[in-house]
Structure 1
């Protein structure tokens, strides 16, 4: 079973995403900010981190930087979501997929599957 870590400071969004992903058959971990996400990742390495971009304590860019700096987390897929214009973020952070908030469920699930399929392709 693939594990998805959902990181968002908005509790309603966090719970809705967690419920949706569980219904789709994923093991789901949750965190309300980046520092909590790093704690969860040290307990159980996820296959995918689905993170909000703007959060208190440790935001999306800082979380991604920490994940990429940790050799044990190499290969963890990333998917970011933001209410700000993701076109500019995509240009600034090439290689990281972004979802524009608000997004619809089919678009979210397509991106989650794409991120996890890419991970499987890399791991052989």
Structure 2
């Protein structure tokens, strides 16, 4: 069973995403900011980190930087943001981004795509 770490400072979004991913058969771990996500990663190495971009304590870009430095063998990454993700996609061409709000089908397609790419 693949593990997805969902990181978002909005509790309602965090819970909804966790429920949706569990229903699809993933093991889900949650964190409300980047520092908490890094703590969770010490306990259980996720296959995918689905992270919001703007958060308190440690934001998405800082979290991504730390994951890339500490987990060189690869953790799939998927970003999400309520701001226009066009510039984020240019800045981070190797990370797929979901534009909030997104529908369930788009979320699941992007999760599967990110995990498939990690396996290759």
Q: TM-score, normalised by structure 1?
A: 0.95
Name the residue aligned to 2:97.
Answer: 98
Aligned to 1:99, what secondary structure does the other structure show? strand
Matched residue pairs, number?
120
Name the residue aligned to 1:21.
Answer: 21
Name the residue aligned to 1:108.
Answer: 107
CA distance in 2: counterparts of 1:94 and 1:110, whole angstroms: 18
Question: What residue ranges of structure 1 are gaps of 5+ in the alignment?
Answer: none
Question: What residue ranges of structure 2 are gaps of 5+ in the alignment?
Answer: none
CA distance in 1: counterparts of 2:54 and 2:73, whole angstroms: 23
| Equivalence map 1:2-81=2 (5 Å) | 2-71=2-71, 74-81=73-80
- Pairwise CA distance, 1:37: 0.0
CA distance in 2: counterparts of 1:104 and 1:74, whole angstroms: 30
- Pairwise CA distance, 1:74: 2.5
Q: TM-score, normalised by structure 2?
A: 0.98
